[in-house]
Structure formats: C-alpha cells, structure tokens
C-alpha cells in the first residue's frame, strides 16, 4: 500500500486512491458473496439458496442499526433486495438454527485471521516487545426467559446474560480473539485462549479478573510479558525466600510517590517486579469515599492505603519500561473498555431484551461482531493515508450511522464504492476531530523514548 501523510477532497474526487484500492481488495477478501455462500453451505445454515442469499442475510444483520431492527423490518428489506416476498417467521427460523450461529462465528474467525496479518504504521515500540494485547469481557443482558440456558450474575437486573470475551491488539486496534460464555463464567476461563494466542515477546495487559500466579509464572517461563493489577489480600515477601511483609502498612507510612522493586508474591513467592504509584489527592479521596460507601463502615488501615495507591506487577525489566511507562500501559488497557462501550452505544450489540431464543441471541451478537471487526480493519487501512489518527470509538459510531448505505453496497457487490464511502467518512471524521490533548498512545511513545535516554540499553 502506498502510504501518504495527506488526503484531499480533490484527490478523492479525481480517482480511486491507494487506500480505496486496498480497502476494495480487503472487502473482497473478507466479504465476497461466493465465500460467504461457501461458509453458509459448509456450516449447514443454507442448504439450498432460494429466496434469501447468504450475503443478503449476513450483511443485513451485520450492518443494521439495532435500535430500529425487528424481524418484520429485516424481512421487508430482504424482500426489497430480492424482489420476492420473505416473511418475518422465515427470518426468525433462520436465525434460530444452530447452524446460523456457526456460520456467523466462522465468518468472524475468517475476518480475525485477516486482521491479525495487518501491521500498524506507527506502533508503540518497547524494547523486547513485539505485540501488545489487552483482554477483557463484557456482559450482555438477555431476556429473563433465557435464565436457564444463559444464566447471569443477577447484577443490574441481568438475570440472564451472555459474556463476550475479547482480546484486543492495542497497536493495531484490532480484535484478535473473540468467544462467548454464560454470564456466570469467570474471566479465568479465557486464560487458556491467551496462552494459545501469545508468542514469546508479546505483552498482555489484564485486570484483576484474570489474576493468577501460576498463569503469570507461565508467562515468565515462556518469555512472554504481562502487566497486571494486584489483589488487596495477596501475601507479599521481601524476595522468593525472604520474610513476609505488610506492604499496605508500609505504604500507609511511606511519604514518597513511587515504589519500584522485586518482591515475592503469594504462597508460591513468585519473584516479580512490583510497582506502587500514589494517586493524586482528589482521585484518592474519591476512591476512599466510594469504598466507604460500598462497605458501609470505616475502612481499615490497609483499605485506606489501598485507596491511595495503584499496585501493578510485571516481568518487564526497568530498562524496558519505567514505572511511568507501566502506569501508562495500564491506562492504555482501558482502550478495550472503550471498544465494548462503542459496540453497545454505537452498534447496539446489547439490545437483545426481546430475544427469547438463545440461538437467536448468539447469532445476533456474532453478526454484530462481524460488522465491528470489518469496520475496525477498514479504520486501520484508512488511517495510513488519513491526515490525522482515527479514534476507533468515534469511527465505529460514525460508520454505524452509515450502516444502511454500507449494507446496500455489500449486497449489490459494489466494493470499490464501499471503500470510497469509508474514505469519505474518514475525511470528514478527521476534519471534525479535535486532538487538543495527547493520546495515551502518544504519551507511551514519549515515555519509552525518555526511558531509552535514561536507562542502559535493554539486553534480552
């Protein structure tokens, strides 16, 4: 692909750009009608293609604005596309087939395999690190009628829920792994997926939901890297064979702002780097008040110290990443939280309260994830020639507004016109963006640059 630093309206109007041609090629690779048809037939979702062609069916559900969707409206749209009458019951029956869920899941995996091969133009480069991942999960509330099939945790009225487990590559802003489970399944169940995905030299950013000392020890043994939060109740030792210490009591009396050293964690005494960073007073006060309200009683000394400090553990060496870089990396993990937020607010992946069939709910979510995966990949291709970086959250929201046009172009196989449409959306997107504050990614790059000047070179 030809990389350019500027894109103009005249260039867009004059001829297809290199980005358009690349997007066109990618669109055909992801979404050719013949491949969708083969996947549909191999999965058993479409044995005989009569009124509803697989490409029409898949594109309609993947690129539908969820707040207006009903089986009646979907049937009316497909009837318009094909010129033949299609009933809402026929659409429902097709979505309720287990094979439809398999078809959509296979299409998502196909899209993910294409996205994994893509590299970022201007990625964060930390010494000794190849790729940077963030992992998280999100609950999607379902109809209470599904409580026996897909039970939820009961929080916020979600008696029935579907949990989406995702791994997100932060350097390219792409999904690389997606899976479902019941809402009651712990995040720990996804750790085996991370072990398969990650290679030596990769870095994983995870929250407390995934914390497991044996898993972190496996990272050390395999040459993989991690940054993780630490539970409040975790036992700590001066080293792998030293005495136990009350770190929270020491932090309560400590007057400095940063603690960075090696400690033994847990009963296994896993020797790893521990970093404690004092929070600003306003943020610490807010966290303390929230903890007191949740507990309904006065906080202990350890709990008050916990409200003032953020603790992280990592196997990154100081010459690879300073304490400040670790703090920024932990903050960067919030990007996957924003991904889930945009999937819900922009694409409407969580609007499933009316679905009383588990297969319909699962197929619907897979279809939405397919649309999101394709839009995120198009963002990466277009960003290489855009005048400014494209915020992926705003990009999803902006493209969601054009879903009607997007699915029409896919159904009519106008892939080059689709690429040009996305490019025009990107141009307007960039002109409307206001980057008055540096992004977390830019802060990390600057911090890594400072680390390289202060520290001796990293020796793997």
Query: What residue segments make up the domains of the chain, in order of their start?
Result: 9-114+356-432, 218-332
Q: In this predicted structure, what is the pLDDT of residue 365?
A: 92
CA atoms in the 13 A half-sphere facing the CB of 332: 28
Question: 225: which residues sit within 8 A by CB, 6+ positions away?
Answer: 128, 129, 201, 202, 203, 204, 219, 314, 315, 316
CA distance 349 to 69: 12
Whether pTM > 0.75 for this model: the answer is yes
DSSP state of 44: T
3-state secondary structure of 402: coil
Decide: 210 and 218 in contact? Cβ < 8 Å: no
Of 368, 4, 378, 334, the closest CA to residue 162 belongs to 368
Question: 74: which residues sit within 8 A by CB, 6+ positions away?
Answer: 60, 61, 64, 88, 91
Of 57, 202, 113, 136, the closest CA to residue 338 belongs to 136
Q: Write out the E strands in 375-445.
A: none
Place of tokens 């997606």: 178
Q: In this predicted structure, what is the pLDDT of residue 248?
A: 84
Reported for 341-346, long-range contacts at CB under 8 A and 24+ positions apart, including other chains, are 341/393, 342/392, 342/393, 342/396, 342/397, 343/138, 343/368, 343/369, 343/372, 343/396, 344/138, 345/397, 346/393, 346/396, 346/397, 346/400
Q: What are phi and psi of 258, to 5 degrees?
A: -140, 130
CA distance 409 to 59: 10
Q: In this predicted structure, what is the pLDDT of residue 314?
A: 95
- Per-residue model confidence as pLDDT tens for the chain (460 residues): 233 333 344 443 444 455 555 555 555 555 677 788 888 888 888 876 566 788 888 888 888 876 666 888 888 888 887 777 888 888 888 899 999 999 999 999 888 887 666 665 567 888 889 899 999 999 888 888 888 888 888 765 578 888 999 999 988 888 999 998 888 888 888 888 888 889 999 999 998 889 989 899 999 888 999 999 988 888 889 887 888 888 888 888 888 899 998 999 988 889 999 999 999 989 989 988 888 888 888 888 778 888 889 899 999 999 899 999 999 999 999 989 988 988 888 888 888 767 888 899 899 999 999 988 888 888 877 776 666 677 777 788 888 888 888 888 888 878 788 888 888 887 776 665 555 567 788 888 888 888 887 766 555 5
CA atoms in the 13 A half-sphere facing the CB of 454: 14
Query: Burial level of 255, CB count in 10 A (0-12/13-18/19+)?
Result: exposed
Q: In this predicted structure, what is the pLDDT of residue 22?
A: 53
Q: What DSSP assignment string belongs to 172-204? A: TTEEEEEEEEETTS-GGGGHHHHHHH--TT-EE
Query: Burial level of 131, CB count in 10 A (0-12/13-18/19+)?
Result: buried
Q: In this predicted structure, what is the pLDDT of residue 407?
A: 85
Q: What DSSP assignment string belongs to 267-323? A: TTTEEEEEEEEEPPHHHHHHHHHHHHHHHTSPPPHHHHHHHHEEEEEE---TTT--H
């Amino acid at each position: 692909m030809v990389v350019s630093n500027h894109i103009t309206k005249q260039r867009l109007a004059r001829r297809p750009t290199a980005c358009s041609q690349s997007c066109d090629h990618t669109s055909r690779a992801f979404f050719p009608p013949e491949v969708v048809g083969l996947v549909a037939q191999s999965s058993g979702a479409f044995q005989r293609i009569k009124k509803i062609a697989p490409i029409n069916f898949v594109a309609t559900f993947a690129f539908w604005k969820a707040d207006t969707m009903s089986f009646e409206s979907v049937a009316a749209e497909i009837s318009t596309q094909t010129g033949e009458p299609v009933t809402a019951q026929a659409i429902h029956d097709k979505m309720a087939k287990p094979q439809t869920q398999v078809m959509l899941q296979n299409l998502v995996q196909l899209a993910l395999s294409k996205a994994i091969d893509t590299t970022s133009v201007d990625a964060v480069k930390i010494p000794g690190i190849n790729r940077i991942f963030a992992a998280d999960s999100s609950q999607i509330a379902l109809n209470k009628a599904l409580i026996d099939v897909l039970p939820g945790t009961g929080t916020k009225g979600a008696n029935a829920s579907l949990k989406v487990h995702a791994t997100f590559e932060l350097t390219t802003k792409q999904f690389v792994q997606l899976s479902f489970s019941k809402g009651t399944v712990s995040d720990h169940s996804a750790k085996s997926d991370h072990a398969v995905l990650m290679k030596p030299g990769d870095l994983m950013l995870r929250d407390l939901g995934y914390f497991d000392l044996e898993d972190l020890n496996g990272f050390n043994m395999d040459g993989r890297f991690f940054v993780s939060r630490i539970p409040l109740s975790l036992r700590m030792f001066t080293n792998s064979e030293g005495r136990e210490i009350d770190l929270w009591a020491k932090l309560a009396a400590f007057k400095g702002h940063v603690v960075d050293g090696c400690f033994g964690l847990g009963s296994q005494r896993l020797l790893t780097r521990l970093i404690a960073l004092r929070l600003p007073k306003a943020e610490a006060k807010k966290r303390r008040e929230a903890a007191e309200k949740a507990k309904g009683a006065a906080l202990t000394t350890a709990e008050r110290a916990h409200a003032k400090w953020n603790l992280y553990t990592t196997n990154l060496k100081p010459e690879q990443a300073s304490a400040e870089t670790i703090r920024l990396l932990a903050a960067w993990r919030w990007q996957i939280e924003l991904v889930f937020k945009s999937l819900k607010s922009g694409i409407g992946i969580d609007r499933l309260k009316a679905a009383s069939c588990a297969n319909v709910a699962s197929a619907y979510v897979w279809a939405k994830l397919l649309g999101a995966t394709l839009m995120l990949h198009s963002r990466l291709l277009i960003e290489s020639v855009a005048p400014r970086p494209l915020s992926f959250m705003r990009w999803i929201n902006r493209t969601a507004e054009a879903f009607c046009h997007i699915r029409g172009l896919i159904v009519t196989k106008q892939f080059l016109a689709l690429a040009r449409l996305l490019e025009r959306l990107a141009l307007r997107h960039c002109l409307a963006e206001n980057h008055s504050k540096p992004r977390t990614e830019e802060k990390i790059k600057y911090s890594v640059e400072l680390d390289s000047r202060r520290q001796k070179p990293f020796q793997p």
